[in-house]
């Protein structure tokens, strides 16, 4: 089903009353209780949808994607953003649009280093970002909570309660942001160390110990740490160590080309990337020289997209810089909400990330190659840490869902009309309960789809 394109943000109205009126009117289009509904009568083949994505991917990496997606229903959900977008588009939506993550499952939240060198908690993946109906992100997050709860062996009732708690936290946080000045919303951020420690305090002993240890080691996840793991010294210079197919130096891929010419071209691309940065950050990049490049497999659903790690040697001889350039393709949401206003898909990703994140990597940028591929670029490691929810009891999982929900509400408040969203949601439990029902039903759909893919792959 293709919707009337909605890839424009719902702009804040001239008055609060007008925004409230928009929110209340949206209930006629999509009643709150109706968010429980999942239309399974006209679904397209999920395996066919996934295979359609693989036509333009690096074919030798497609089996890696299959392996990762068939590991569990949760890894399937992670890789099946297109399948869920197709399902969400089959039912009425609120029409209140904001900047969507487009893939807001719980594993796409986590900690990283802010420019002020604080460990912050936020969304951390924006490959599918586009403006669209706000509830699509909420539904994907809630569904991921139920699938994760089931993976942990929890009952349907416990899993549903995790989803309800998550949706309720989103509703409450949105109401709070609706009362705050926009500048306060823009400054709002979550301190990762503080909040994850609170999560650890509420978890049972084994999980608490793992969270505490991970938070302490997050600051060690730097370029130097990655350099020690990914490279070796060759003739006095660091070089990426082959680990096919997960890490392959570019010399092992571009076999029929002069290496000097290849690196001259790559350095031109680094220059194009630098042009996408502000002048002060461009100056920062100019202090480094590109010396080695390797292809790296990343993520689950992203496997098969071209992703490169760039080793940048410092001119001062001190600490190197590691960048990741990842292919950016058309968002999985585009067929349902309309194409991005940005021709360069890398710029689309960067623009969405800057809108939604409270603090963004200072080296986030983009470029386009003469081979017709768009990329976005960020630091490979900057204290990045994702919470592993395996082993979480229902209480801890629900607490983590609330952290993610607050973060998502803050991101949506930055990217759309927070007052209209809050008015639409109201303060009753109708929306959270409906989302709980949706998430439970969609978890069943995901489990079936996971089995279907595994059977198709033999």
Q: What is the pLDDT of residues 206-232, one digit of tens each?
A: 677 777 776 777 677 777 778 888 999
pLDDT band for 9, please (50, 70, 90 cuts): low
pLDDT band for 401, please (50, 70, 90 cuts): very high
Q: What is the mean pLDDT of the segment spanning 199-209?
A: 71
Is residue 410 predicted with pLDDT exceeding 50? Answer: yes
Instruction: Give me the percent of the chain exceeding a pLDDT of 70.
Output: 94
Q: What is the mean pLDDT of the segment spanning 365-374?
A: 95
pLDDT band for 425, please (50, 70, 90 cuts): very high
Is residue 8 predicted with pLDDT exceeding 70? Answer: no
Alpha-carbon distance of 188 to 252, in angstroms, equals: 46
User: Which of 40-49, 131-140, 236-245 has the highest average model confidence (pLDDT)?
Assistant: 131-140
What pLDDT does residue 194 have?
78
Mean of the per-residue pLDDT values for the chain? 91
Asked if 304 and 57 touch (Cβ cutoff 8 Å), the reply is yes
Domain residue extents for the chain: 16-212+384-456, 223-379
Q: What is the mean pLDDT of the segment spanning 357-361?
A: 92
Alpha-carbon distance of 127 to 118, in angstroms, equals: 24
What pLDDT does residue 33 have?
97
In terms of Cβ atoms closer than 10 Å to its own Cβ (0-12, 13-18, 19+), residue 177 is buried
What pLDDT does residue 377 have?
97
What pLDDT does residue 11 have?
66
Q: What is the mean pLDDT of the segment spanning 362-379?
A: 95
Residues near 95 by beta carbon (within 8 Å), at least 6 away in sequence: 6, 10, 26, 29, 30, 133
Residues near 429 by beta carbon (within 8 Å), at least 6 away in sequence: 164, 168
Can you count the helices (H) and strands (E) in the chain? Answer: 18, 13
φ and ψ at 216, to 5 degrees?
-65, -35
427 compared with 111, residue with greater pLDDT: 427
Pairing of strands 307-314, 321-327: antiparallel
Q: What is the mean pLDDT of the segment spanning 322-338?
A: 96
Alpha-carbon distance of 213 to 207, in angstroms, equals: 10
Is residue 2 predicted with pLDDT exceeding 50? Answer: no
What pLDDT does residue 358 have?
92
Alpha-carbon distance of 421 to 132, in angstroms, equals: 13
What pLDDT does residue 6 have?
52
pLDDT band for 202, please (50, 70, 90 cuts): low
What pLDDT does residue 126 have?
97
* pLDDT (tens digit per residue) in 150-167: 999 999 999 999 999 999
Asked if 189 and 454 touch (Cβ cutoff 8 Å), the reply is no
Using alpha carbons, select from 98, 99, 84, 87 the residue that is nearest to residue 301. 84
Least confident of 75-79, 173-177, 256-260: 256-260
pLDDT band for 4, please (50, 70, 90 cuts): very low
Residue environment code for 265-304, b if the CB has 16+ CB neighbours within 10 A, otherwise e:
ebeebbeebbebbeeebeeebeebebebbbbbbebbbbbb
Alpha-carbon distance of 414 to 418, in angstroms, equals: 8
């Amino acid at each position: 089903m293709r919707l009337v394109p909605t890839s424009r943000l719902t702009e804040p109205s001239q008055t609060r009353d007008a925004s409230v009126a928009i929110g209340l009117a949206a209930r006629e289009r999509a009643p709150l209780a109706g968010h429980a509904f999942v239309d399974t009568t006209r679904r397209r083949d999920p395996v066919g949808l996934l295979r359609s994505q693989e036509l333009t991917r690096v074919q030798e990496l497609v089996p890696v994607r299959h392996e990762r997606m068939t590991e569990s229903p949760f890894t399937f959900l992670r890789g099946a953003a297109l399948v869920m977008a197709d399902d969400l588009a089959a039912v009425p939506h609120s029409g209140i649009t904001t900047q969507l993550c487009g893939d807001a499952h719980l594993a796409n939240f986590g900690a990283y280093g802010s420019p002020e060198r604080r460990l912050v908690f936020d969304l951390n993946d924006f490959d599918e970002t586009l403006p669209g109906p706000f509830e699509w992100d909420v539904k994907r997050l809630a569904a991921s909570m139920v699938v994760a709860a089931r993976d942990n062996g929890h009952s349907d009732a416990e899993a549903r309660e995790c989803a309800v708690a998550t949706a309720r936290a989103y509703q409450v946080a949105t109401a709070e942001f609706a009362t705050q000045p926009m500048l306060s919303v823009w400054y709002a951020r979550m301190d990762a160390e503080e909040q994850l420690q609170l999560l650890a305090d509420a978890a049972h002993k084994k999980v608490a110990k793992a969270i505490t240890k991970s938070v302490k080691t997050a600051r060690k996840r730097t370029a130097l740490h990655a350099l020690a793991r990914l490279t070796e010294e060759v003739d006095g210079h660091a070089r990426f160590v082959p680990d096919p197919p997960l890490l392959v130096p570019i010399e092992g891929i571009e076999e029929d080309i002069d290496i000097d010419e290849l690196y001259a071209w790559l350095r031109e691309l680094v220059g194009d990337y630098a042009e996408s940065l502000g002048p002060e950050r461009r100056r920062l990049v100019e202090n480094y020289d590109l010396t080695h490049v390797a292809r790296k497999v990343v993520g689950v659903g992203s496997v098969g997209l071209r992703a490169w790690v760039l080793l940048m040697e410092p001119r001062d001889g001190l600490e190197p810089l590691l960048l990741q350039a990842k292919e950016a393709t058309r968002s999985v949401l585009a067929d349902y909400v309309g194409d991005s206003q940005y021709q360069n898909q890398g710029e689309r990703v960067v623009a969405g990330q800057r809108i939604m994140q409270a603090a963004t990597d200072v080296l986030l940028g983009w470029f386009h190659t003469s081979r017709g591929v768009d990329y976005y670029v960020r630091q490979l490691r900057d204290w990045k840490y994702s919470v592993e929810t395996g082993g979480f009891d229902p209480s801890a999982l629900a607490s983590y869902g609330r952290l993610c929900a607050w973060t998502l509400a803050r991101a949506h408040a930055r990217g759309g009309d927070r007052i209209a969203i809050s008015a639409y949601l109201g303060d009753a439990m109708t929306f959270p309960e409906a989302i709980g029902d949706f998430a439970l039903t969609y978890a069943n759909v995901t489990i079936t789809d996971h089995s279907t893919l595994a059977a198709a792959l033999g």
